[in-house]
């Protein structure tokens, strides 16, 4: 009977498909959140951080009895796909999560590029999309209704370095107007956002931007820019070029002895500059979304430090901010489900929009464009081979060492 | 304009840029020697050149992490990469040697993607460095700084170039390589095992790239996607210098390094690469006119 021999597996396949689709639709007592994260490709390191952050949140919430929605307790679960670090694939997978798997709530991918690809899809299907790893400013100028971000947008990354420099200048009896800025930013959307933020602040203080280089994406050497820095003698050097830029500026300012009182960069914690370059990184300022030493508290994890400890116990490596952001994303959903009292995506979306909560990651409250407007950025300084929080001054752990003493 | 003024006001800046340019050029020269060799002998443009540099860099990084001074990694990386190059030849390259240039481009392009992704999976996407601990040299009362490792890299590049020249000129295999480059068919008739010569050539190329990669790890940074600039610059250098002239390759590489640094300073880092490509176009156009003139004389 060749015909039935073919039919049976086909039927079984259909049943299986139907079953998985059914399972994913938040029926029963489980709510399924969908996520495309980068498990392979260039973002694989941070993709894993993101996934670990989601997993820890889900595990903790389920341990605490899940989420109560309209008197019934639900467990959470995340359905993952690997987006291979490519935006086109991310958009495809979002379609698949929503269209085929019936997911009604989407967690963000890693990086602004991927988020930019996925947001139109979640918008089309009117599915709430909360993310913690896409910081580009333009994500929030498109009028998206269903996209929310728990992190500070990228134009805030290095503003604190400028503010700090102005503070120091005032302390030393110098007018911030006389300060000179040298900056080198990679030519990518994220870094150009960071640059916009600096330009705004520089204008506000009346500071002079003496060097404004845009690094090519394949940058392997910053010698030409740094030679210029030596000639101009600026009061601060600001760099954003992902891990490459952070590593290069640390290595080459030390090697070429480029003496600038304030050197600040993004991505130095993920580039592990203090760990892998030791002395060379001394005195460098690093922008970060979050730190375990901040005194934030919540009911799920306790303090930021408790979270970091739990994370390290679970995954055997120190909690990076990328993971903390991701965990906070899930907490926003959990909080919104409970307040909405329903699993209707529209009601959940409205509940998310009116979020006003404190988490171990920091305060979360969205403006009308969907970005978190109450959480400040953190600025570290590498001191004695460790990252110490120096700004915002309210949460600071120690005072800024100024000027940076070049490692000998 | 502001930048030009700075340059004229302070002559030390020019010295700094010149030195940095020459020293970075030496590293480009290494990768370019290898490309010229493979191109000349096997008629193959190896697009995976930069990936071989990257692998050499990782060899240095892992030796450094194991507590071995990365300088020893230069010969070790060369040896490892020789083996890797040999294997690549036996697995892929030999299939495309006598084929259309387009096929070899495609094949090596595929290899470059494969090597990048393999490196990403095996070593992770993190940016790595290997510290030589050599420190920095101060010239003119600190107005010009040169990290010693760059000098070492420069010397290493010159040594490797000299070694390569001698190897090609004196050794049995070197002679066989040159014979194959001149006329593969005649070489085969004379009893030279050209397949083996090709394997050696590709291995040698990989070894040179490996050595330069180890130097890159000590001087700059290593990550899985650093290859492209090295491939592109090797290609440019070989286009300008021609095949089979080691001294010209070195001169072109140093010139390129210097031009690049000055362009980066004057025009800003964003035009550094653009300037270099504009220069390439200008040189090619100029050379065309020059060749046309030569032809007229011949007539």
Nearest CA of chain A to the CA of B59: how many Å? 17
From A42, A222, A248, residue closest to B125, measured CB to CB = A42
CATH number, position A65: 3.40.50.2300
Average pLDDT for B133-137: 80
Sign of the alpha-carbon torsion through B18, B19, B20, B24 = positive
Total Cβ atoms within 10 A of residue A178 = 11
Within-domain flag for B292:
no
Within-domain flag for B229:
yes
> pLDDT by residue (tens digit) across B13-22?
888 999 999 9
d(CA B80, CA B55): 9
Q: What share of chain B is helix, strand, coil (3-state, %, to 5)?
A: 80, 5, 15
Is the domain of A93 the same as that of A192? no
Q: Does B225 touch chain A (CB under 8 A)?
A: yes
Within-domain flag for A19:
yes
From A40, A221, A255, residue closest to B24, measured CB to CB = A221
Confidence band, pLDDT 50/70/90 cuts, at residue B10: confident
Is the domain of A160 the same as that of A218? yes
A43 touches B125 (CB < 8 A): yes
Higher pLDDT, A22 or B169: B169
Q: Which domain holds residue B137?
A: 2-269
Cβ-defined contact of A227 to B13 (cutoff 8 Å): yes
> pLDDT by residue (tens digit) across A34-44?
999 998 877 88
pLDDT at A270: 79
Answer yes or no: is pLDDT of B270 > 50.
Answer: yes
Is the domain of A165 the same as that of A300? no
- Do the interacting molecules here have an ipTM over 0.90? no
Is the domain of A7 the same as that of A106? yes
Is the domain of A40 the same as that of A166? no
pLDDT at B222: 92
A121 touches A98 (CB < 8 A): yes
Is the domain of A141 the same as that of A180? no
> pLDDT by residue (tens digit) across B69-94?
888 888 999 999 999 999 999 999 99
Taking only residues 266 to 305 of chain A, the set having a beta carbon closer than 8 angstroms to any beta carbon of chain B reads 271-272, 276-277, 280
d(CA A257, CA A236): 15
Within-domain flag for A371:
no
Q: DSSP labels for A204-269?
A: HHT-EEEEEEEE-TT----HHHHHHHHHH--SEEEEE-HHHHHHHHHHHHHHHT---SEEEESSTT
Q: Closest Cα to residue A342, out of A157, A70, A3?
A: A70
Within-domain flag for B86:
yes
Q: Give contacts of B275 with chain A, Cβ < 8 Å.
A: none
Is the domain of A110 the same as that of A127? yes
Average pLDDT for B150-176: 89
Mark B170-181 as b/e (b = at least 16 C-beta within 10 Å): eeebbebbbbbb
Structure letter (DSSP) for residue A97: I
Count: domains in chain A:
2
Within-domain flag for B290:
no
d(CA B175, CA B195): 15
Is the domain of A246 the same as that of A350? no
> pLDDT by residue (tens digit) across A106-145?
999 998 889 999 999 999 999 999 999 998 888 999 999 9
A69 touches A105 (CB < 8 A): no
Within-domain flag for B65:
yes
Within-domain flag for B264:
yes
Taking CA–CA distances from A47, the nearest residue in chain B reads: B125
Q: Does B11 touch chain A (CB under 8 A)?
A: no
Q: Closest Cα to residue A381, out of A96, A135, A164, A134?
A: A164
> pLDDT by residue (tens digit) across B255-268?
999 999 999 898 88
Interface test with A, best of B7, B264, B276 (most A CBs within 10 A): B264
Residues ≥6 apart with Cβ < 8 Å to A64: A300
Confidence band, pLDDT 50/70/90 cuts, at residue B297: low
Cβ-defined contact of A243 to B6 (cutoff 8 Å): no
Q: Does B17 touch chain A (CB under 8 A)?
A: yes
Average pLDDT for B38-47: 91
Is the domain of A297 the same as that of A284? no
CA within 13 Å, CB half, B238: 25
Q: Does A215 touch chain B (CB under 8 A)?
A: yes
Nearest CA of chain B to the CA of A184: how many Å? 8
Whole-model pTM: value is 0.80
Average pLDDT for B151-161: 87
Within-domain flag for B277:
no
pLDDT at A408: 66
Taking CA–CA distances from B144, the nearest residue in chain A reads: A256
Is the domain of A166 the same as that of A270? yes
Is the domain of A389 the same as that of A247? yes
Cβ-defined contact of A277 to B131 (cutoff 8 Å): yes
Is the domain of A161 the same as that of A241? yes
Nearest CA of chain A to the CA of B176: how many Å? 37
Q: Which domain holds residue A200?
A: 156-288+377-395
pLDDT at B296: 64
Nearest CA of chain B to the CA of A11: how many Å? 38
Count: domains in chain B:
1
pLDDT at A187: 85
A109 touches A134 (CB < 8 A): yes
Nearest CA of chain A to the CA of B65: how many Å? 10
For chain A, which ranges sit under pLDDT 70? 1-27, 408
CATH number, position B95: 1.10.3470
Size of interface A-B (CB pairs under 8 A): 112
């Amino acid at each position: 009977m060749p015909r039935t021999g073919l039919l049976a597996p086909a039927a079984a396949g259909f049943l299986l498909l139907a079953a998985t689709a059914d399972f994913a639709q938040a029926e029963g007592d489980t709510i399924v959140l969908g996520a495309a994260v980068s498990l392979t490709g260039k973002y694989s390191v941070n993709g894993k951080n993101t996934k670990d952050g989601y997993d820890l949140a889900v595990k903790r919430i389920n341990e605490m009895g899940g989420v109560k929605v309209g008197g019934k307790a639900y467990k959470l679960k995340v359905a993952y796909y690997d987006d291979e670090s490519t935006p086109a694939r991310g958009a495809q997978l979002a379609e698949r999560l929503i269209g085929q798997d019936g997911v009604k709530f989407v967690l963000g991918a890693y990086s602004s590029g991927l988020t930019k690809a996925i947001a139109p899809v979640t918008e089309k299907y009117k599915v709430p999309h909360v993310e913690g790893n896409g910081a580009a400013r333009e994500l929030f100028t498109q009028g998206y209704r269903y996209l929310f971000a728990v992190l500070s947008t990228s134009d805030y990354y290095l503003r604190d370095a400028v503010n700090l420099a102005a503070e120091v200048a005032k302390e030393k009896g110098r007018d911030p107007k006389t300060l000179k800025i040298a900056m080198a930013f990679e030519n990518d959307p994220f870094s150009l956002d960071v640059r916009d933020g600096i330009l705004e602040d520089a204008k506000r203080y009346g500071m002079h931007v003496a060097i404004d280089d845009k690094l090519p994406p394949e940058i392997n050497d910053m010698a030409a820019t740094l030679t210029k820095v030596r000639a101009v003698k600026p009061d601060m050097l600001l760099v954003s070029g992902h891990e490459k830029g952070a590593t290069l500026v640390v290595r080459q300012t030390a090697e070429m002895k480029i003496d600038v009182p304030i050197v600040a960069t993004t991505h130095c914690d993920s580039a592990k500059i203090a760990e892998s370059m030791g002395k060379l990184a001394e005195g460098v300022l690093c922008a970060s979304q979050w730190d375990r030493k901040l005194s934030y508290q919540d009911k799920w994890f306790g303090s930021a430090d408790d979270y970091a400890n739990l994370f390290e116990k679970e995954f055997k490596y120190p909690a990076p901010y990328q993971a903390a952001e991701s965990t906070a994303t899930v907490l926003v959903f959990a909080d919104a489900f409970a307040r909405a009292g329903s699993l209707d995506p529209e009601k959940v979306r409205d509940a998310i929009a009116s979020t006003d909560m404190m988490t171990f990651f920091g305060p979360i409250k969205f403006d009308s464009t969907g970005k978190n407007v109450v959480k400040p950025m953190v600025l570290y300084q590498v001191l004695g081979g460790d990252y110490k929080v120096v700004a915002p001054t309210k949460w600071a752990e120690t005072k800024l060492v100024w000027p940076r003493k070049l490692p000998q | 304009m502001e930048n030009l003024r700075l340059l004229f006001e302070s002559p030390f800046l020019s010295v700094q840029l010149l030195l940095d340019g020459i020293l970075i050029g030496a590293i480009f020269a290494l990768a370019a020697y290898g490309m010229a060799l493979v191109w000349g002998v096997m008629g193959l443009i190896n697009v995976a050149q930069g990936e071989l540099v990257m692998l050499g860099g990782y060899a240095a990084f892992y030796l450094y992490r194991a507590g071995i001074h990365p300088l020893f990694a230069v010969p070790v990386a060369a040896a490892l990469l020789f083996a890797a190059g040999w294997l690549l030849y036996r697995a892929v390259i030999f299939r495309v040697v006598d084929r259309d240039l387009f096929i070899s481009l495609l094949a090596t392009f595929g290899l470059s993607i494969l090597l990048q992704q393999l490196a990403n999976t095996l070593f992770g996407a993190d940016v790595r460095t290997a510290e030589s601990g050599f420190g920095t040299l101060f010239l003119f009362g600190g107005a010009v700084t040169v990290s010693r490792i760059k000098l070492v890299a420069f010397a290493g590049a010159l040594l490797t170039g000299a070694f390569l020249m001698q190897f090609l000129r004196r050794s049995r295999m070197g002679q066989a390589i040159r014979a194959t480059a001149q006329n593969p068919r005649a070489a085969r008739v004379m009893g030279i095992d050209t397949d083996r010569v090709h394997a050696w050539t590709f291995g040698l190329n990989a070894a040179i790239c490996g050595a330069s990669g180890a130097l890159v790890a000590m001087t700059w940074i290593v990550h899985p996607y650093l290859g492209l600039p090295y491939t592109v610059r090797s290609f440019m250098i070989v286009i300008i210098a021609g095949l089979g002239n080691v001294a010209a390759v070195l001169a072109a590489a140093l010139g390129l390094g210097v031009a690049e640094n000055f362009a980066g300073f004057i025009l800003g880092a964003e035009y550094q690469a653009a300037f270099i490509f504009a220069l390439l176009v200008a040189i090619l156009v100029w050379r065309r006119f020059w060749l046309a003139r030569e032809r007229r004389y011949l007539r």
